[in-house]
Chain A
Amino acid sequence: MSSYVAPLKDMMFVLTELAGLDKVAALPGYEEATTDVVEAILDESAKFTGGVLDPLNWSGDQEGAKWADKAVTMPKGFKEAYAQFVDNGWNALGGNPEFGGQGLPKVVSAAVQEMWKSANMSFSLCPLLTLGAIEALELAGSDEQKAMYLPNMISGKWTGTMNITEPQAGSDLAAIRSRAVPQGDGTYRIFGQKIFITYGDHDMAENTIHLVLARTPDAPEGVKGISLFVVPKFLVNADGSLGERNDAYCVSIEHKLGIHASPTCVMVHGDNGGAIGTLVGKENEGLKYMFVMMNAARFAVGLEGLAVTERAYQHAVAYARDRVQGRAIEGSPAPVAIIRHPDIRRMLMLMRSHVEAMRALAYAVAAAHDASHRHPDAAQRAQNQAFVDLMIPVVKGWSTETGNAMSYLGVQIHGGMGFVEETGAAQYMRDARITTIYEGTTGIQANDLMGRKIAREGGATAKAVIAMMRVTQQEVAAQPGVAFAAIAAALGRGIDAVGEATDHIVANYGKDVRAVAAGAVPFLKLMGNVAGGWMMARASLVAQAKISGGDADPFYPAKIATARFYAEHVMAAAPGLARVVVDAGNSALELDESMF
């Protein structure tokens, strides 16, 4: 089994050269995020994730979370690892300093979270859900709720959950039936069953704070009648101590394809008189708060696609170096390590170039998120927010689809040994599988991208981004050498493809929405493919500038070669994807329903 070594060099390169860490550190409140401090943080995070979280990844997968008597027991070692995670302050990294958080920008937490996810995706889901719940409480909670819950949630002493899905209400939240009955004392009693509740119960923390979507008695039908409640596992006394056990129980956990160590709970609220909760924000506004929180969660799940690819890549490289099989295709005196074989090399390059492209795009979006919140200039804030809104479904949808494709290649590189569980390659593929599904399937991300993010505003932000891509493309085209010529050519065709597809969506969304929607996922893939290529092109320009400045670090020529590979092997697909978006929507819908 290989061990996880955080790719600190590429992380720092992306942070400082592509995401603009210095600009983020210049924003008010982020002054502490200087390069040397961030480097020290990533260094220690690399040690912690490699030394504590990674060793539990395989054992956690094999053992899985266990359920008995309405309670979940985590696999061996998780409880201790979580205690250390909390004691060392990692949960509080991005938290509001007012409630004990470290207040670091999202671009830094993105890099640190990538490490949690690479080292142990199942473990990382616990803080992911806590951070989402914190976000919702910060956004809409009362001062009293914030004071009661946020300090312990930010430290990680208490964890959080999102109780959203019900058996009949998956992607369609309008169908939610859970009830909230006011008690007249400011509290509500919650009744209903929730499914797919990540870390709904576990033994790693003394309390779990559930955020629950439910309907009040007079609420309107559909999405306009859903309210958000905070329901603690143990009620919290006025002095902050823990009180009675609340009527919110995990009645079973799911048996899943992957993320075995992450307990996916069926939660029943109110079988014994009602779970006591308080309203978050205003009645009937629950979905609105949930969507703000969901954007953060979607970004975080996008990071999972990147993180699992990084881990699968490291695993595959270690195997490909070690495994001796077959002679070189051009002839060799003895059998060679499979890394010598051209097709293995191609697959490793696909993994490597995709992980670098996804990382660059994700961190760039995180930096834009920071600017959208803290930039002193309102126009800059708005511009960054528009970029973030456009790119969140791309980071989520494209990175998770790519994570699946790349962890598939990780298994392929292992050959038959990848199909048996003992080598560990299969776990990444199984763990990756959920990422294109939860927090909105790829189809939902694609509809969001095409409808809300492009058609609704006539493609304004998309066109602005295309213009930025063209500037990069021209800079690349001005560089001498075959590598840059190849990158410029592929990026040029890719940008044309995105431009044509965007125009098609803007022109036809109102006229023939079904045909356009049938091309939504191909469009999302096209957008991710070319945005990733744009980032790789930017990286190659920085690398060339370093080389021209006399820097002999082999990292830089490797970056240019990887960018060229991405251009020739990955971005080559962009014009074809545009053809699907523009020409092929109707053929997906031609057969009558009865023919299926």
Chain B
Amino acid sequence: MKILVPVKRVIDYNVKVRVKADGTGVDLANVKMSMNPFDEIAVEEAMRLKEGGKATEVVAVSCGVTACQETLRTAMAIGADRSILVESDVELQPLAVAKLLAAVAKKEAPQLIILGKQAIDDDSNQTGQMLAALLGWSQATFASKVVIGEGKATVTREIDGGLETLEITLPAIVTTDLRLNEPRYATLPNIMKAKKKPLEVVKPADLGVDVAPRLSTVSVAEPPKRSAGIRVADVAALVDKLKNEAKVIA
């Protein structure tokens, strides 16, 4: 079984995000970028399936600028066998990414696509679902456990108020939640080997996909700053303010 793992290059989770002065977006100049943490979980899950004898090949794929090659090298350092970069300087929105991934999936014919439930930069939580719809495959989102059987997968997913277990037929899409696994650290020998693993670069046009953005960003702003506190005279005044101003108690 072949597993396709889409990985996104995002602003590193350690970086304090700054909004550009003109409010058009987040300042990414000279900022450390890393693999989306949910996608790290996806790569880890694919590796565990391979190590458990369920998968034979793990292919990482990323869509975006040339520098996404670093993210793919990271995936290969964790253990992916090879990778594909769909290179584009255009801002790629979830629908465009889903279309690109669908085109790659048709070419590669994997039995399973595992990807993060969302990316920590835009928090869209759309790509996996759109991809399943475009391909007409089963989907199981927010997975916290994946068990592969004959031609199917049993996926435990995190839902409001508990866990739900689904059985889906392969090929299928699985999106990862935080508790699916704890990603490993790449080993030094694997980091060295990653440089020598194959990395194919294709363009959206090669895949026949129009990636033009369908959404436009109106403005981006920092969250409002917390305003200074006030001193109240007594408990009665505090209760009054909580009731009538903050409206947090009835």
Of the 9-residue stretches A35-43, A291-299, A428-436, A494-502, which lies at the interface with chain B?
A35-43
Q: How many residues of A contact B (CB 8 A)?
A: 29
A5 at the interface (CB under 8 A from B): yes
Report the nearest B residue to A93, measured CB to CB. B188
Query: Is the pair A48, B185 in contact by a Cβ cutoff of 8 Å?
Result: yes
Query: Is the pair A5, B70 in contact by a Cβ cutoff of 8 Å?
Result: no
Q: A40-B74, A44-B77 are in contact. Are A84 and B185 (CB under 8 A)?
A: yes
Instruction: Report the minimal beta-carbon distance from A108 to chain B, rounded to whole angstroms.
Output: 11
Query: Is the pair A555, B30 in contact by a Cβ cutoff of 8 Å?
Result: yes
Query: Is the pair B30, A40 in contact by a Cβ cutoff of 8 Å?
Result: no
Query: Is the pair A102, B188 in contact by a Cβ cutoff of 8 Å?
Result: yes
B172 at the interface (CB under 8 A from A): no
B103 at the interface (CB under 8 A from A): no
Query: Is the pair A44, B32 in contact by a Cβ cutoff of 8 Å?
Result: no
Which residues of chain B (185-216) have a CB below 8 Å from chain A? Answer: 185-189, 191-192, 194-195
The 8 Å CB contact of B32, one of A8, A32, A41, A48, is: A8
Query: Is the pair B191, A37 in contact by a Cβ cutoff of 8 Å?
Result: yes
B29 at the interface (CB under 8 A from A): yes
What range describes how many residues of B lie at the interface? Answer: 10 to 19
Q: How far is the CA of A392 from the CA of B109 in the complex (A)?
A: 58
Q: For B34, what are the chain A residues with a Cβ–Cβ distance below 8 Å?
A: 43
A249 at the interface (CB under 8 A from B): no
The listed residue with most B CB atoms (<10 A of its CB), out of A40, A102, A553, is A40
B99 at the interface (CB under 8 A from A): no
Q: How far is the CA of A8 from the CA of B103 in the complex (A)?
A: 37
Q: For B74, what are the chain A residues with a Cβ–Cβ distance below 8 Å?
A: 40, 43
Query: Is the pair A102, B187 in contact by a Cβ cutoff of 8 Å?
Result: no
Q: How far is the CA of A40 from the CA of B185 in the complex (A)?
A: 12
Q: How far is the CA of A334 from the CA of B229 in the complex (A)?
A: 12
Q: How far is the CA of A47 from the CA of B188 in the complex (A)?
A: 12
Q: For A52, what are the chain B residues with a Cβ–Cβ distance below 8 Å?
A: 185
Q: For A554, what are the chain B residues with a Cβ–Cβ distance below 8 Å?
A: 30
A488 at the interface (CB under 8 A from B): no
Q: For A102, what are the chain B residues with a Cβ–Cβ distance below 8 Å?
A: 188-189, 192
Query: Is the pair B192, A5 in contact by a Cβ cutoff of 8 Å?
Result: no
Instruction: Report the minimal beta-carbon distance from A52 to chain B, rounded to whole angstroms.
Output: 7
Q: For B195, what are the chain A residues with a Cβ–Cβ distance below 8 Å?
A: 32, 34, 36-37, 40
Q: How far is the CA of A256 from the CA of B30 in the complex (A)?
A: 43
Q: For B32, what are the chain A residues with a Cβ–Cβ distance below 8 Å?
A: 8-9
Query: Is the pair B185, A92 in contact by a Cβ cutoff of 8 Å?
Result: no
Q: A5-B14, A553-B29, A553-B30 are in contact. Are A44 and B70 (CB under 8 A)?
A: no
Q: How far is the CA of A47 from the CA of B14 in the complex (A)?
A: 11
Instruction: Report the minimal beta-carbon distance from B14 to chain A, rounded to whole angstroms.
Output: 6
Q: How far is the CA of A43 from the CA of B34 in the complex (A)?
A: 9
B117 at the interface (CB under 8 A from A): no
The 8 Å CB contact of A47, one of B29, B185, B192, is: B185
Q: For B70, what are the chain A residues with a Cβ–Cβ distance below 8 Å?
A: 36, 39-40
Q: How far is the CA of A327 from the CA of B187 in the complex (A)?
A: 50
Q: For B30, what are the chain A residues with a Cβ–Cβ distance below 8 Å?
A: 552-555
Q: How far is the CA of A5 from the CA of B192 in the complex (A)?
A: 23
A222 at the interface (CB under 8 A from B): no
Q: How far is the CA of A11 from the CA of B43 in the complex (A)?
A: 28
Q: How far is the CA of A43 from the CA of B32 in the complex (A)?
A: 10
Q: For B192, what are the chain A residues with a Cβ–Cβ distance below 8 Å?
A: 32, 37, 102
Q: For B9, what are the chain A residues with a Cβ–Cβ distance below 8 Å?
A: none
Query: Is the pair B187, A87 in contact by a Cβ cutoff of 8 Å?
Result: yes
A484 at the interface (CB under 8 A from B): no
* Chain A 1-16 per-residue mask, 1 if CB under 8 angstroms from chain B, else 0: 0000100110000000
Query: Is the pair A89, B188 in contact by a Cβ cutoff of 8 Å?
Result: yes
A90 at the interface (CB under 8 A from B): yes
Instruction: Report the minimal beta-carbon distance from A166 to chain B, rounded to whole angstroms.
Output: 37
The listed residue with most A CB atoms (<10 A of its CB), out of B29, B188, B192, B195, is B188
B82 at the interface (CB under 8 A from A): no
Q: For A8, what are the chain B residues with a Cβ–Cβ distance below 8 Å?
A: 32
Report the nearest B residue to A91, measured CB to CB. B188
Report the nearest B residue to A40, measured CB to CB. B191
Query: Is the pair B29, A44 in contact by a Cβ cutoff of 8 Å?
Result: no
A342 at the interface (CB under 8 A from B): no
The 8 Å CB contact of A92, one of B29, B188, B228, is: B188
Q: How far is the CA of A84 from the CA of B187 in the complex (A)?
A: 9
A240 at the interface (CB under 8 A from B): no
Instruction: Report the minimal beta-carbon distance from B67 to chain A, rounded to whole angstroms.
Output: 11
Q: How far is the CA of A378 from the CA of B29 in the complex (A)?
A: 44
Which residues of chain B (7-59) have a CB below 8 Å from chain A? Answer: 14, 29-30, 32, 34
* Chain A 314-342 per-residue mask, 1 if CB under 8 angstroms from chain B, else 0: 00000000000000000000100000000
B157 at the interface (CB under 8 A from A): no
Which residues of chain B (83-116) have a CB below 8 Å from chain A? Answer: none
Report the nearest B residue to A85, measured CB to CB. B185
A88 at the interface (CB under 8 A from B): yes
Q: For A5, what are the chain B residues with a Cβ–Cβ distance below 8 Å?
A: 14
Report the nearest B residue to A44, measured CB to CB. B186
Report the nearest A residue to B228, measured CB to CB. A334
Which residues of chain A (89-104) have a CB below 8 Å from chain B? Answer: 89-90, 92-93, 102
A51 at the interface (CB under 8 A from B): yes
The 8 Å CB contact of B187, one of A88, A334, A552, A553, is: A88
Q: How far is the CA of A334 from the CA of B227 in the complex (A)?
A: 13
Chain B positions near chain A (C-beta within 8 angstroms): 14, 29-30, 32, 34, 70, 73-74, 77, 185-189, 191-192, 194-195, 228
Which 10 residue pairs of A and B lie closest in terms of their CB atoms, listed nearest first?
A89-B188, A553-B30, A88-B187, A89-B187, A44-B186, A48-B185, A89-B189, A40-B191, A37-B195, A88-B185
22 contacts between A and B (CB under 8 A): A5-B14, A9-B32, A32-B195, A36-B70, A39-B70, A40-B70, A40-B77, A40-B194, A44-B186, A44-B188, A47-B185, A52-B185, A84-B185, A88-B186, A89-B187, A89-B189, A93-B188, A102-B189, A102-B192, A553-B29, A553-B30, A554-B30
Given contact pairs A40-B77, A43-B34, A44-B188, enumerate 12 new A-B contacts (beta carbons under 8 Å): A8-B32, A32-B195, A34-B195, A36-B195, A39-B70, A40-B194, A40-B195, A44-B186, A48-B185, A88-B185, A89-B187, A553-B29
